[in-house]
Amino acid sequence: MNPNIYNIKSKDILKFLLSSWFEVSHQKWSHIQLKNWTLKVTVPNHSNKTLNIKTIISIFRQSWIDKNLFLNKNEFQDKKLENLKENS
């Protein structure tokens, strides 16, 4: 299935952010706050519902992640692994 920005679920964004140097800061009710060194991102965790497009854009804006990077996440994971191998 071809990725589509209008069909993103919170679990997909959470999984991606956790693999992108973010960690869970805390959770209050159904909202999870993630952070890395300088950024904080709040992601709603409403079971398996598709997120509203404005919410998705807000999450990308908060995390400074380009939507194309998310939609092509397999490429991103490969690049991340390459960088880790080069630095070790």
Q: 3-class secondary structure for 31-56?
A: EEEEECCCCEEEEECCCCCECCHHHH
The whole-number pLDDT of residue 21 equals: 85
Higher pLDDT pick, 80 / 2: 80
CATH number of the domain that residue 69 is part of: 3.30.920
Which structural domain range is residue 65 located in?
18-87
Residue 6 in domain: no
Residue 29 in domain: yes
Residue 5 in domain: no
Domain count, the chain: 1
Q: How far is CA 61 from CA 29, 55, 56, 58, 78, in A?
A: 23, 10, 9, 5, 23
Question: What's the whole-model pTM score?
Answer: 0.70
| Three-class secondary structure of residue 68 per DSSP | helix
- The 10s digit of each residue's pLDDT in 20-76 is 888 998 988 899 999 998 999 999 988 778 889 899 889 888 988 877 777 776 555
